[in-house]
Structure 1
Amino acid sequence: MNGLDWAVLIAYFGVMVAIGLWSHKRVDDVGDYFTAGGRMPWWLSGISHHMSGYSAVMFTGYAGIAYQYGITSYVTWSFPIAIGIAIGARLFAPRLNRMRSQLHVASPLEYLKDRYNLTTQQALAWSGVLLKIVDVGAKWAAIATLLSVFTGITLTQGIVITGAITAVYCTVGGLWADALTELGQFVIQLVAGLAMLVAALGKVGGFSGIWTVWDEPALRHHGEPTAGPYTLVFLLAYLFIKTFEYNGGMWNQAQRYMATRSAREATRSAVLSSALWFVWPLVLFFPMWISPLLVHARKPDGSDSYGLMVERLLPHGLLGLVVVGFFSHTMAMCSSDANAIAAVVTRDIAPAFSRTAHAWTARAGLIAARFTTVAFLGLSMAVATQVNSPTFKDIITVVIKWVAGLVGPIAIPFMLGLMRAFRRSGPTAALTSWAMGLLAFYLLNYPVNDAVQGGVKLQYQVAAPLAVSLVLYIVIGWIKPEDTPERDALIAKVNTDPPGSAAIALPEPAQEPGPVARPSAAAEQHQDGPGTRHAAG
C-alpha cells in the first residue's frame, strides 16, 4: 500500500466514525440501541442482515477453500445460507418481529424466561456469549491476517486497529450505526468486488473467460460442486445448520428482523438478504476460483491467495478500496455481534445476578449497554491473538467447526420455542437438548479425534450436535409436555398479528418479573395498571 491506498483506508474509517456519531442522536434508550426502536426500513434491514453475515474470513479461510477446490466454496457455503434465509423468511422473520412488538423486549433472549424458565435463559445466554467471543475473535484474526499481507504490521497490531475503530462507532450509535455503516460498506464492497472481478477477467481473456477458463489444467477439478471434505452430506448438514444460524440462532440476525416496523417488513427484509446471498458471493468468489492461475499461495491452506492476488492485479487506490472492503465485512459482522451480545448481557444476564439491574433507568441501561459492548470487543480481541494456537488450529477451523457445531444446541430451544408446533417442549426439553448437544460436539471433536485420527468426517462433527439437540427437544416435549396456558398465550402472540396496530398485553408472570416482563422506562410511564403494557416508541 502507498499513500493513496492509506488515504482511502483512513477516509473510510473517518466516515464510519462520523456515521456512529450521527446515529448517536437517534439513540435515547436501550430499545433504540438494540432494535432501532422498531423503525428500521425493510430494505436497510435486509442489506444489514446480509452484510452482518460474513466477514474477512471469506477472503482468507474461504479463499483458501476456493484456491484448493474451486466452486465448492460457493455451493457448500453461501448457496445453503441463501436457501436457509429464504426458508426463514416465512418461518422465523415475522415471529421474531412480533416478539419485539408484542412482548416489548429489546434482547432476543428476553422472552425465554417466560417461555421456559430463568435457568434455561441463563444457560443459552452464557453459552452463546462465550461462543461469540471465540467466533468474533476468529474474525479479528482474519482481517489482521489480510492487513499483514498489505502493510507488514503484526497480527496483534491489526487486531487492535480494527477492533478500536469498530468499538467507536458501534458503541456510540448502537444498531442504527451498525445498519447505516453496513449500508455504506455494501456500496464500497460493490465497487471493490466488481473492480476485482474485472481485473481477474482481464487476465483470462475477458468476459468469455467465465466459461473457457475451466479447461486450464490448474483448474481441472475446480468446477466440481463438492470436493475434498466438503461433500454432499456436508452441504445438506450446512443447510440444516445455517437455516437456524442465519435466521436468528446467533442473535445478531434476529435483531435485524426485530428492528423492522412490522412482521411483513421483516419477511421482505429476509427475502432481500436471501437474494443477495444467491448473487453477490458469485462476484466475489470468481477471482478466488481462478487464483491458482494468477498466484502461488505461500500458506498450505491457500488462505493468503486472495491478498496476494489483490496486490498483483489492482493499481494503487483500487487496492486500498479492496482492503476497505475486507474491513467492511469484518466490521459489519463484529459490530452486529457486539450489539447482540450487549443486549443479552444487559437485558438477560445482569438482571439475574443484580437487583440493581432491574431498576436501571433509561440512561443507566444505555450506559451499561455501551460498557458491555466495549468489554465484549476487548475480550474477543484478546481471543483473536490465540486463534492460531493448537486449541483452535486455524481460522477456518473456528468458523466451520466451532461455530457451526455449537450453534445448534443454542439455537434450537430459542427458535423452535417461537412456534406452535413445539409448544409442548418446555424447560426440561430445552435444557436437555442444549446440554446433550454440547456433549455431542465435545465427544465428536476431541476424544474421538484423538483416538481415531480423521475417523469422524467434518460433516458429522458439525451436524451431529444440532441433530441431537433437535431430536431431544421434540421427543422430550412429547414424552414430558410442559405447555401451560401462560406459555401458550406467549406463543400465540408471536404467531399472529394483533387486530389493527395495537399490541396484545402479556399477562404478568407469577414470579418476580425479569427482563421480559419489565417494560422500558417510557412504557412504565404509560401503564394503565398491572399486566397492561403499551409499546414504547
Structure 2
Amino acid sequence: MGTLDWVVVVGYFFVMVAIGVWSKAKVANTSDFFTAGGKMPWWLSGISHHMSGYSAVMFVAFAGEAYKYGLTVYIWWALTIGVGVGIGAWLFAPRWNRLRSKYNVASPLEYLAKRYNVPTQQVLAWSGSLLKVVDIAAKWAAVAVLLRGFAGVPIAWGIILIGAVTMVYSVIGGLWADALTDFGQFVIQAVAGFAMFGAVIAHFGGVSWIWDMWGQLPAQNSQPLAGPYTITFFLALFLIKTLEYNGGMWNLAQRYMAAPDGSAARRSAALSSVLWLVWPLVLFLPMWAAPLIVPGLGNADDAYVAMGVQMLPAGLVGLVLAGFFSHTMAMVSSDANVISAVITRDMLPRIWKGTTRLGEAAQLQLARITTFLFIAVSMLIAISTSGTGVVIKIVVDVVAATVGVIGIPLLLGLLPWFRRSGPRAALSAVLLGLGVWAVLFISQKSGVTVSKEALVAYPIITSTLVYVLGGLFFPERTAKRDELIDTLGSDDPAPEVAAAK
C-alpha cells in the first residue's frame, strides 16, 4: 500500500469515530442506546440490517470457496439470506418491533421470560453470548488477515487497530452510532465494490465477458451446488439463515425494534432482502473470476487480496481495504450493542439484584462498560488464534450449525402457529440440538468422517422436530402466553397499554 492508500484508510477511521462522537448527543438513556428509542427511519434500519449481516469473512473464507467452487457460494449463502429475510419481512420483522413498542423490550431475549420462563431465557442468553464472542473473534481474524495481505501489518496489530476504532464509536454512540456508521460504510463499500468490479471488467475487455467467463472456468464453477455443498446442505442452511437473519442473530432483531412501528420494520426488512439478492453479485464477480486472474494460489483464502494488489491503482487499494473494514466493524459494533443489552437487561439482573435499582445514568454507564468488555474479549480471542485456519471452521461448522438451534425457540416463539410449545419444548430443543452438534463436532475432531451437510443439517433438524413435537404432545399453553403472541400480530396497543390510556 502506498501513502495515498493509507490516507484513505486513516480518513475512513476518522470519519467512523467522528460519527460515534456526534451520535452521543442522541443517547440519553438505555432505550436510545439499545433500540434508538424506536425513532430510526425504516431505510436506515434496512441498510443497517444489511450491513450488520456480513463481515470481512466474505473476502477471506467465502472468497476462498468461490475461488475453488464458483457460483455455489452465492446460492447457498447470499440467496438463502435474501429469500429468508424477504419471508421474515412478513413473519418476524413487525413482531420484533411490537415487542419494543408494546412491552418496552430493549433486548431480543427479554421477551423469553414471559413467553417461556426465566431458565429458558437464561440458557439462550448464556449459550448465545458465548457463541457470539467466538464468532466475532473469527471476524477480527479475517479482517486482520486482509490488512496483513494488503499492507503487511501483523495480525495482532491489525486486530488492535480495527478493534480500537470500533470500540470507540460503539461505546460512545450505541445503536445510533452503529446505524449511522453502517450507512457511511454502505456508501464506502459501494464505491469500493464497484471499483473492484470495474477493474475486473476492464481487465477482460467488457461487460459481455461476465457470461463468457464460465466457459473458461472449471465446469463445476458454474453449478448452483458443487463440492461439499449439496442440496441437503442448501436446505438446512436456508432454514438456518432464515432464522439467523430474522433475529437469530440478535443484533439484526434490534434493527427491526429500532424502527418507528411494525409497518416500518417490514419495509426495512424488504429493503435488506433486495440488497442481499443484488449486492453480493457485484462483490462475488471478482471472486468468481479470480482463478483466471491469479491462478494456482496455494491458499485460496488469499484470492481477493492477490487480485486487489495486482489490479487496483493507488488510493483504490486503500478504499477497498476500508470496504473490508466496513463489513466487520458494522457487524461487531452491532453485536457488541445487542450483547450489552442481553447482559444488562437479561443476565445481570438474575445475578445481581442491584442492577434493577440503578438509576438511568448508571444503567447507561453499565451498558457502555459491557459493550467495551465484549469487544475487548473477542479481540483477545482473535489475537490468540493469529490466522485464518479457524475462520471457515468457526463461521460454517460452529456458528452456522448452532445459531439456528438457539434461534428455533426465539423465532418460532413469536408465531401463533407454535403457541402450544412452552418451556419444556424450548429448552429440550436447544439442549438436544446443541448435543447433536457437539457429538458430530467431537467425532469429526476424533477422525470420524462427518460431512459438512450433516454437521449443519442434523442439529437444526433435531431442534425443530423437538420444539414442534414437544408442543404437540406436551402443550404448555397459557392465557398470558396467548395474549403476548396475539398482541404481536398488529400495531394496535397491547391490552394493558390501552387500559392505561
Report the Cα distance in structure 2 between the residues aligned to 1:368 and 1:202, rounded to whole angstroms: 52
Asked whether the equivalents of residues 27 and 33 of structure 1 are also in contact (C-alpha less than 8 Å), the reply is yes
Shift of 1:505: 2.0
Report the Cα distance in structure 1 between the residues aligned to 2:93 and 2:101, rounded to whole angstroms: 13
What letter is aligned with 1:269?
A: S
User: Quick one: which of 429, 434, 438 aligns to 2:425?
Assistant: 429
Report the Cα distance in structure 2 between the residues aligned to 1:211 and 1:422, rounded to whole angstroms: 46
User: Quick one: which of 464, 479, 484 aligns to 2:478?
Assistant: 484
Is 1:418–2:414 an aligned residue pair?
yes
Is 1:463–2:457 an aligned residue pair?
yes
SS at match of 1:446: helix
Is 1:152–2:170 an aligned residue pair?
no
Report the Cα distance in structure 2 between the residues aligned to 1:68 and 1:109, rounded to whole angstroms: 39
The match for 1:20 is 20
Asked whether the equivalents of residues 297 and 304 of structure 1 are also in contact (C-alpha less than 8 Å), the reply is no
SS at match of 2:496: coil
SS at match of 2:429: helix
What does 1:242-391 align with in structure 2 at a 5 Å threshold?
A: 242-296=241-295, 298-300=297-299, 302-387=300-385
Report the Cα distance in structure 2 between the residues aligned to 1:157 and 1:451, rounded to whole angstroms: 35
TM-score after normalising by structure 1: 0.91
Report the Cα distance in structure 1 between the residues aligned to 2:373 and 2:133, rounded to whole angstroms: 10
Shift of 1:533: 6.4
TM-score after normalising by structure 2: 0.97
The match for 2:110 is 110
The match for 1:224 is 223
Report the Cα distance in structure 2 between the residues aligned to 1:414 and 1:89, rounded to whole angstroms: 16
Report the Cα distance in structure 1 between the residues aligned to 2:456 and 2:210, rounded to whole angstroms: 33
Give the unaligned 5+ runs of structure 2.
none
Cα distance per residue 1:90-110 (max 9 Å; x no partner) = 110011111111111111111
Report the Cα distance in structure 1 between the residues aligned to 2:303 and 2:244, rounded to whole angstroms: 28
Asked whether the equivalents of residues 219 and 292 of structure 1 are also in contact (C-alpha less than 8 Å), the reply is no
The match for 1:524 is none
Report the Cα distance in structure 2 between the residues aligned to 1:234 and 1:447, rounded to whole angstroms: 19
CA distance 1:532–1:130, shift in 2 (3 Å): farther
Number of positions where the alignment pairs a residue of Structure 1 with one of Structure 2: 501
What letter is aligned with 1:150?
A: F
Shift of 1:489: 1.4
Report the Cα distance in structure 2 between the residues aligned to 1:320 and 1:393, rounded to whole angstroms: 25
SS at match of 2:301: coil
Report the Cα distance in structure 1 between the residues aligned to 2:358 and 2:462, rounded to whole angstroms: 39
User: Quick one: which of 464, 475, 499 aligns to 2:469?
Assistant: 475
SS at match of 1:304: helix
Cα distance per residue 1:493-526 (max 9 Å; x no partner) = 212321xxx55427xxxxxxxxxxxxxxxxxxxx
CA distance 1:383–1:398, shift in 2 (3 Å): same
CA distance 1:388–1:398, shift in 2 (3 Å): farther
The match for 2:34 is 34
Report the Cα distance in structure 1 between the residues aligned to 2:343 and 2:229, rounded to whole angstroms: 36
Report the Cα distance in structure 2 between the residues aligned to 1:481 and 1:221, rounded to whole angstroms: 48
Deviates more, 1:44-53 or 1:401-410: 401-410
Shift of 1:230: 1.2
Asked whether the equivalents of residues 8 and 320 of structure 1 are also in contact (C-alpha less than 8 Å), the reply is yes
Shift of 1:422: 1.1
SS at match of 1:505: helix
Cα distance per residue 1:242-269 (max 9 Å; x no partner) = 0000000120000000000110111110
Report the Cα distance in structure 1 between the residues aligned to 2:219 and 2:405, rounded to whole angstroms: 39
Report the Cα distance in structure 2 between the residues aligned to 1:430 and 1:486, rounded to whole angstroms: 17
Report the Cα distance in structure 1 between the residues aligned to 2:297 and 2:385, rounded to whole angstroms: 19
What does 1:87-106 align with in structure 2 at a 5 Å threshold?
A: 87-106=87-106
Asked whether the equivalents of residues 408 and 437 of structure 1 are also in contact (C-alpha less than 8 Å), the reply is no
Is 1:396–2:395 an aligned residue pair?
no
Asked whether the equivalents of residues 297 and 308 of structure 1 are also in contact (C-alpha less than 8 Å), the reply is no
What letter is aligned with 1:190?
A: A
What letter is aligned with 2:259?
A: T
Cα distance per residue 1:254-285 (max 9 Å; x no partner) = 00000001101111101000000000000000
Is 1:188–2:182 an aligned residue pair?
no
Is 1:496–2:487 an aligned residue pair?
no
Asked whether the equivalents of residues 46 and 269 of structure 1 are also in contact (C-alpha less than 8 Å), the reply is yes
CA distance 1:134–1:533, shift in 2 (3 Å): farther
Q: Over aligned residue pairs, what C-alpha RMSD do you find?
A: 1.6
Asked whether the equivalents of residues 388 and 395 of structure 1 are also in contact (C-alpha less than 8 Å), the reply is no
Report the Cα distance in structure 2 between the residues aligned to 1:351 and 1:193, rounded to whole angstroms: 44
Cα distance per residue 1:140-198 (max 9 Å; x no partner) = 00000000011111111111111110000011000010010010111111111111011
Report the Cα distance in structure 2 between the residues aligned to 1:223 and 1:312, rounded to whole angstroms: 25
Report the Cα distance in structure 2 between the residues aligned to 1:483 and 1:288, rounded to whole angstroms: 50
Identity %: 52
Report the Cα distance in structure 1 between the residues aligned to 2:363 and 2:172, rounded to whole angstroms: 14
Asked whether the equivalents of residues 387 and 395 of structure 1 are also in contact (C-alpha less than 8 Å), the reply is no
Give the unaligned 5+ runs of structure 1.
507-530
